[in-house]
A and B are shown apart, each in its own frame.
Chain A
Amino acid sequence: MKRIGSILIVATVVLAACGEPGNQAKPTAAKHRCQADRDIGAADYSASDGSSEPGDVISGSISDYGGGTTDQNLHLYDGIAVLTVVGRDKAKVASDSDSRAAGSSDDNPDTKTVVRVIRFQTDRSLKGDVPACVEFTVPGGRAKDANGKFIATSDSRYPEKIQVGDRALALLTDQPAPLHIGTLLLADKSGDVVLPFGGGETVNIDTWQPSAEATSSS
């Protein structure tokens, strides 16, 4: 009960600070009303929590970045933003379209993955026009399929656990469409994240300003 109360307080504070969308341009497909939100996934296990059973299906993805400098890599993204999680839905087994977003095979019926809709408040839009409130489908989590069997999904581009109040640096891309979070880097308590490119640089999401090369259009 105390935990639920804390979550509500955090959500209320966060949402009170989240005004109307400041920019109506792009990405419209991901825009939503940034209102008081439910966090019905709060009691879910993350993919890494216990209580799995023999026979449960697991899936995962691991991504490998190319060469080049951090700025050259950031240049390839359509948007960069600092986001705060304001709500999330329960994890579910992905539909076909969700599966494509999760990068799974579209021609193998046995390759199910789990996704979750997460709602964000945009704290800082560092590249592109990211609306004040956005929601995205993000791979990861644990859910039952139609046969009642648990499926757990992990993806190296997204946090293992993500909760209301978490802050993150989002690297957005519309390749493949629609616009989605290509990489979501959860910040630590001091706001630091490690960029996943060759140099492995650490930046602070409250103070970092990407270079002109990084923020130029790709």
Chain B
Amino acid sequence: MRSKWTRAAAAMLVAIVTCWVAQPALGIGQDRGWSQLANGGYPRQHASPECQPPSGTQPAPGCIAWSAREYRSYYYFITSAVPLQNDVIAAVTEFNNWNTRIPHAPLYQYRSTSPNIQYRRITLDATLCGHTAWWGVQQPPQGVNPYEHATITYAEVQFNTNRTYGNVGYYDNKVCEMRNTARHETLHTAGAGHTNYNSQVMYWSQRGIFTYQAGDLHGMQCMYNLQNCTTGL
């Protein structure tokens, strides 16, 4: 009798541990969390499988990305209405420095004429710290999801006139931390989507993560270097 109960207890313990391990361990050091613009934004179900390098004879779902395998530099511009512009510039500089570790990843240079990426301030819903709108062109092969195998042609980062922006390290339910907002939005302009892991910059709500994390890097490596494409929404 005792052994029967012992076995039952052991089975229950295994089940609990298995269940716990299988949870998407939010915010406890996970570093694989990333997604792509092709997957849409949380909380919506992602629209397509994660982008992947080609495999076998089937065309793999491709990432939305700048055509970085042809060009490395793109131009960004910050309009005058954007506050704390030094923090935006610092975020883009950080993005560039970080991208030098990833072959083919884009680098952004400041230029006022015909920018590829524009940082603006417009009126958005009061709950939003930032918003990135992007445009692109569908690339071959034909007949796939329109958000796969696409090249970004223009992106716009929008800061909110309904919000105030704080200096480095300062944010609350009314104030958005500007440098981190710019850091997050800049990664959107390069093709990154959201992650459910709140330990990453690309989490969908401001959580006090003030530097790019392993999952963010992992995503960029997949999108531009076609390496380490393990998923981890």
Q: Residues of A with Cβ closer than 8 Å to B?
A: 47-69, 72-73, 76-77, 103-105, 108, 110-112, 142, 150, 152, 154, 156-157, 159-160, 171, 173, 175-176, 182-183, 185-186, 193-198, 200, 218
Contacts of B102 in A (CB 8 A): none
Q: Which secondary structure dominates chain A's binding surface?
A: loop
Give Cα distance in the complex from A175 to B125, angstroms. Answer: 6
Contacts of B130 in A (CB 8 A): 63-64
B206 proximal to A (CB < 8 A): yes
Q: Residues of B with Cβ closer than 8 Å to A?
A: 37, 40-45, 47-48, 64, 118, 120, 122-147, 150, 153-154, 156, 158, 162-163, 171-174, 176, 181, 184-185, 188, 193-194, 196, 198, 204-208
**Distance between B128 CB and nearest chain A CB, rounded to angstroms:** 5
B40 contacts A154, C-beta separation under 8 Å = yes
Give Cα distance in the complex from A197 to B136, angstroms. Answer: 28
A142 contacts B146, C-beta separation under 8 Å = yes
A103 contacts B124, C-beta separation under 8 Å = yes
Q: Which of the residues B124, B137, B147 comes within 8 Å of A47, measured between beta carbons?
A: B147
Give Cα distance in the complex from A173 to B128, angstroms. Answer: 12
Contacts of A67 in B (CB 8 A): 171-173, 176, 205-208
Task: Name which residue of chain A comes closest to B132, CB basis.
Answer: A62
Q: Which of the residues A47, A69, A160, A183 comes within 8 Å of B45, measured between beta carbons?
A: A160
Contacts of B142 in A (CB 8 A): 52-54
B135 contacts A59, C-beta separation under 8 Å = yes
**Distance between A129 CB and nearest chain B CB, rounded to angstroms:** 19
B193 contacts A52, C-beta separation under 8 Å = no
Give Cα distance in the complex from A57 to B150, angstroms. Answer: 9
Give Cα distance in the complex from A200 to B197, angstroms. Answer: 11
Q: Which of the residues B125, B188, B196 comes within 8 Å of A62, measured between beta carbons?
A: B188
B145 contacts A66, C-beta separation under 8 Å = no
